[in-house]
């Protein structure tokens, strides 16, 4: 191959370069805000929260930036909820890698101040009809620095299934939960429906309550008014299952 041909080949974009997402500086900042929010609380920010963070005059400006990120394949927008933002592809891998780094560092650090440790019970399978924190539901306990959580959790719940995959919540993960009886639309909740306990995103309208999965393979659960229903808590953090092996 001649030098001219070699130079021409070196100037051509590689296969991976052609498929790299090109974001503006502002789009990158908003994507990082979404990633940080999910890593910290388990939920993406609302349009209003994005507008407040970046000084936009209205939530409409946030929506335009989100649509641009969706067109570029960094996120997916879900209609019907103020927090309907899902990470995709490399963005989802990035948040998982970030969580991995965070918890590896956490578990490798000494704990000189024992008063700052939280002792959290791990709830496994919840027995029908029993309070979620009943002793028979507790598998074991874990200690964590309280600074890991923006809001103090009361217990850990072992996640079963992949219905919340696109919110970064995977089978076997431990969801940090703050006990609560009420929730706002868009929050990820632990809900008791009949004899089952489930993790879903909460949405209430004037006429009904819906529990929304974060995986298109799963159906929305519409709560039957005749069926026993209660909110047990709010998701305030997540611990990846790979750190518990």
Only one residue has tokens 């209003």, namely 48
- Name residue, tokens 């001649």: 2
Catalytic member of 16, 18, 200, 219? 200
Q: What are phi and psi of 5, to 5 degrees?
A: -65, -40
Q: How many helices (H) and strands (E) does the chain have?
A: 6, 11
Neighbouring C-beta atoms of residue 211, cutoff 10 Å: 20
Q: Are 149 and 236 in contact (CB under 8 A)?
A: yes
200 in active site: yes
User: Helices in the chain by DSSP H: which ranges?
Assistant: 3-11, 15-18, 25-41, 47-54, 59-71, 89-108
Catalytic residue, from 37, 43, 91, 163: name it: 163
Residues with catalytic roles: 163, 200
């Amino acid at each position: 191959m001649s030098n001219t041909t070699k130079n021409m080949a070196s100037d051509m974009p590689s296969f991976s370069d052609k498929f790299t997402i090109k974001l503006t500086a502002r789009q990158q900042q908003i994507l990082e805000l979404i990633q940080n929010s999910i890593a910290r609380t388990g939920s993406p920010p609302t349009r209003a929260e994005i507008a407040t963070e970046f000084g936009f005059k209205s939530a409409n400006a946030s929506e335009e930036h989100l649509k641009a990120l969706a067109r570029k394949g960094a996120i997916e927008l879900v209609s019907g909820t103020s927090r309907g933002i899902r990470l995709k592809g490399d963005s989802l891998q990035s948040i998982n890698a970030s969580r991995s780094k965070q918890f590896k560092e956490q578990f490798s650090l000494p704990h000189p101040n024992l008063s700052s440790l939280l002792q959290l019970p791990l709830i496994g399978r919840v027995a029908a009809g029993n309070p979620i924190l009943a002793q028979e539901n507790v598998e074991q306990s874990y200690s964590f620095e309280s600074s890991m959580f923006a809001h103090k959790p009361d217990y850990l719940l072992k996640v079963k299934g992949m219905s919340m995959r696109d919110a970064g919540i995977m089978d076997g993960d431990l969801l940090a939960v703050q006990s609560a009886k009420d929730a706002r639309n868009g929050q990820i909740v632990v809900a008791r429906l009949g004899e089952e306990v489930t993790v879903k995103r909460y949405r209430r309208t004037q006429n009904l309550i819906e529990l929304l999965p974060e995986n298109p393979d799963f159906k929305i659960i519409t709560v039957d008014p005749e069926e026993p229903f209660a909110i047990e808590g709010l998701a305030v953090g997540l611990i990846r299952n790979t750190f518990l092996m």
